[in-house]
Structure 1
Amino acid sequence: MGAFRIDTGARTDTGRVRAHNEDSYCARGDIGLWAVADGMGGHESGDWASATTIAALEAVPAAAFDTLIESVSDAIYGANAKIFAESQKRGSQMGTTVVALAMLGDRFGIFWAGDSRAYLLREGQLVQLTVDHTQVQMMLDRGLIKPEEAAVHPMRHVLARAIGVDGGMEIDAFVDEVVPGDIFLLCSDGLTGVVDDHEIEDVMRGGGSSRIADQLVSMTLDRGAPDNVTVCVVGVTADELALGGEASR
């Protein structure tokens, strides 16, 4: 398969209501790793939890795909242990969501815990790659409520899983193949709480990772942005100029 050219756009904003930004992100096109984390537990605790998780991912070294996937998983579990130990020490719960994309050559991996999401636009169609780890999603999966009820349920932001909340926490992950033209979106729920999937799809169809990131954050701010908002957009195109099948990042 031919080499790829990777185009990244990432933006974060405190929003219109919150006093502090508890979101963090990394965009490491040099090794093929991107992530968004949304902290919980109050300003100091939420900031620290999300920053600790992103710092662990920032420390992941460049490697072949299989090793990269293993290192990303180890970094997230390591962050979970560190945050959980600190919360026990402080006597107060803290945690963070995380969603991460690792991509090298023609393969990608998605990792997540919580309700920060990963989407993929492929051939003009938007697909949500992650399933929210929330109490409401669990009720929806069990058929206890309908989708239209889930969208407005008062507990829709109550997490069933997050980094740092449980020493035995497990992340969800999967691996798949990249197709030229793919556009990935990682985001905190500050975006999806006010911009629906159809609108996200329309924006992403216009292409240009930086333009997409700018427009999605602008739409959120225009609608009052009651939460911090963070987006990381990764576009993939065939690199006709690359030689030897080596990815350009």
Structure 2
Amino acid sequence: MLTDIALKSFGQSHVGAVRKINEDSLLEYPEQNIWVVADGMGGHEAGDVASQMLIDTINTYINEHAYHGITINVLKQAILTANEKIIAYSHSQLAGKTAGSTIVLLWIDGYTAHWLWAGDSRGYRFYHQDLKQVTRDHSHVNELVDQGVLSAEEAEKHPMGNVITRAIGVVEDIDVDHISHPIVEGEMLLLCSDGLTGELSDASIAEQLQQQNVINAGSSLMHAALGKGAKDNVTLILVSVSKQNQIESFKDDDLTVPLFS
């Protein structure tokens, strides 16, 4: 049983080495133990706006419900409200052009981690050198795997691997998946856009997470993705779980991480 746990997080977003616009957005709300990564799609004035609208709407909901208490239903409603807002924005400002965003959200309530997601932004658990994907991509290739058309190995290299089947802001009726699990002392929880997983295999991600310091581990992930060429925007949030008396000690200047411009 966990007692007096401490959570430490590190988040960073980078435009990458190829694209000129960063369509990713992130939210760190440690006061409520909530973290979000959103990956926009649709280009300038579409994807970047959609992901930020999603983040802003969730942030507003958290602020409004912080006193009475956050629940899974509150977080789902925040995402559904953002879905409506993005669709309305597309109709009024983009002449019907589709703007959308994937999402992965982590909320730690007591000793339980809750994940909400839509699209192919992912959530992972890293514990005792073992990396496991918690979320399941809403993608065309995953549907083919489910149908037995592709193996998991074939899906990893499939040319349509970036075709997603679910996103916020695309259709009015959107399903947001949810899964929960107990947290474990010593584990790290990773939220990321597909800009990270598109460059790094699970084995490469696990290798970068060997470091106990959450800032060093998160920075190593970003460096590794950029070193691979970072063809897409790269966004990640890393959350570590430790005992209160074992929480890492950080100086203020430790929190300043170069953006690899």
Q: TM-score if structure 1 supplies the norm length? A: 0.92
Which residue type is aligned with residue 56 of structure 2? A
Q: Match of 1:83?
A: 86
Which structure has more relative contact order (CA 8 Å, sep 6+)? It is: 1
Residue equivalent to 1:28: 29
Displacement, 1:241? 8.3
Which residue in 2 is equivalent to 1:180? 185
CA distance in 2: counterparts of 1:64 and 1:32, whole angstroms: 15
Which secondary structure state, in structure 1, belongs to the residue aligned with residue 38 of structure 2? strand
Q: Distance in 1 between matches of 2:48 and 2:105?
A: 18
Shift of 1:63: 5.4
Q: CA deviation at 1:52?
A: 0.5
**Equivalent pair of 2:40/2:51 in contact (CA under 8 Å):** yes
Structure 2 CA distance for aligned equivalents of residues 122 and 94 of structure 1: 36
Alignment partner, residue 41 of structure 2: 40
Instruction: Give 1:159's aligned residue.
Output: 164
State how far apart, in whole Å, the 1-side matches of 2:80 and 2:50 are.
13
Judged with a 3 Å threshold, the aligned counterparts in structure 2 of structure 1 residues 241 and 154 are, in CA distance, closer, same or farther, namely: closer
Rounded to whole Å, the distance in 2 between the matches of 1:241 and 1:160 is 42
Q: Secondary structure of the equivalent of 2:32?
A: coil
Q: Which residue number in structure 1 is paired with residue 208 of structure 2?
A: 203
Amino acid at match of 1:22: E
Q: Report SS of the residue matched to 2:86.
A: helix
Which residue is equivalent to 1:117? 122
Secondary structure, counterpart of 1:44 in structure 2: coil
Q: Distance in 2 between matches of 1:12 and 1:182?
A: 22
Superposed CA RMSD in Å reads 1.6
The whole-number CA distance in structure 2 between the counterparts of 1:241 and 1:224 is 36
Q: Which amino acid aligns with 1:36?
A: V
Pairs within 5 Å for 1:49-88: 49-59=50-60, 60-61=62-63, 62=66, 67-88=70-91
CA distance in 2: counterparts of 1:212 and 1:52, whole angstroms: 29
Q: Which residue of 2 aligns with 1:246?
A: none
> Which amino acid letter does the alignment assign opposite residue 228 of structure 2?
R
1:115-139 CA distances to partner (integer Å, 9 max, x unpaired)? 0000001233111000000111111
Alpha-carbon distance between aligned partners in 2 of 1:223 and 1:197, rounded to the nearest angstrom: 14
- What is the percent sequence identity of the aligned residues? 37
Question: Does structure 2 retain, via aligned residues, the 8 Å contact 1:31–1:63?
Answer: no
Of the three residues 133, 142, 146, the one matched with 2:147 is 142
Distance in 2, matches of 1:78 and 1:5, equals 31
> Any conservation in 1 of the 2:123–2:135 contact (CA below 8 Å)?
yes
Change (3 A) 1:116 1:85: same
Secondary structure, in 3 states, of the residue corresponding to 2:236?
strand
The SS at the match of 1:50 is helix
Task: Supply the AA of the counterpart residue of 1:193.
Answer: G
Helix, strand or coil at the partner of 1:27: strand
1:228 aligned onto 2:229: no
Aligned equivalent of 1:247 = none
Contact 1:9 1:212 in 2 (8 A): no
How far is the alpha carbon of 1:142 from its aligned partner? 1.1
Instruction: Tell me the CA shift for residue 211 of structure 1.
Output: 1.0
Stretch moving more, 91-100 or 148-157:
148-157
TM-aligned CA deviation for residue 154 of structure 1: 1.6
Tell me, yes or no, if the aligned pair for 2:209 and 2:221 is still in contact at 8 Å.
no
Shift, 1:29, TM fit: 0.8
CA contact 1:9–1:211 (8 Å) conserved in 2: no
